[in-house]
Each structure stands twice: as C-alpha cells, then as structure tokens.
Amino acid sequence: MLWDPRDERLVNVRIPLWLLRFADDGTVTFSEEERDLVGDLDLTVADLDHHGPGLVLDYQDGDRERVLLWAE
C-alpha cells in the first residue's frame, strides 16, 4: 500500500507470494519509473518467508510518500 501525496491517493497492490516465486531472482524491488521509492531496498521471497506474516515495512520519505508492506 502506498500513499501518494502529490496525487492525494492511496495505491493498493496485492501480489500473491506464490507468483513472486516464478520471478527469475524472486526479488521485490521498490521503484517507480526512474526513482526508488525506498532507497536501495530489495526483498527476496526468502526474506518474506523468513519474516512470516505481519508488518514487514513501514516507510515514509521526506515528500510524505508512505509505503506499508505486510505478508499474510
């Protein structure tokens, strides 16, 4: 889930974990067009498996963009 203060809207994306397992490197990259949303943070499917269910990431940048990531 991402709050975009410029457009004043909430963006909700749901991706099943089983679908990520089909990716070549199984990595989730947080980027939007030409810039990173959360710096250089990349998560692998193994990272998400290790973390288990719950809140994985709560990030807010200087522009008030906020990213929440959780696993179920």
Task: Pick left, alpha or beta for residue 18 (phi over 0 → left; psi -120 to 50 → alpha; otherwise beta).
Answer: alpha
Rg (CA), the chain: 13
- Tens place of pLDDT for every residue, the chain, 72 residues? 777 778 888 888 788 888 878 777 777 666 655 555 555 667 788 888 888 889 988 888 777 777 788 888
Query: What's the confidence (pLDDT) of residue 21?
Result: 80
Query: What's the confidence (pLDDT) of residue 29?
Result: 67
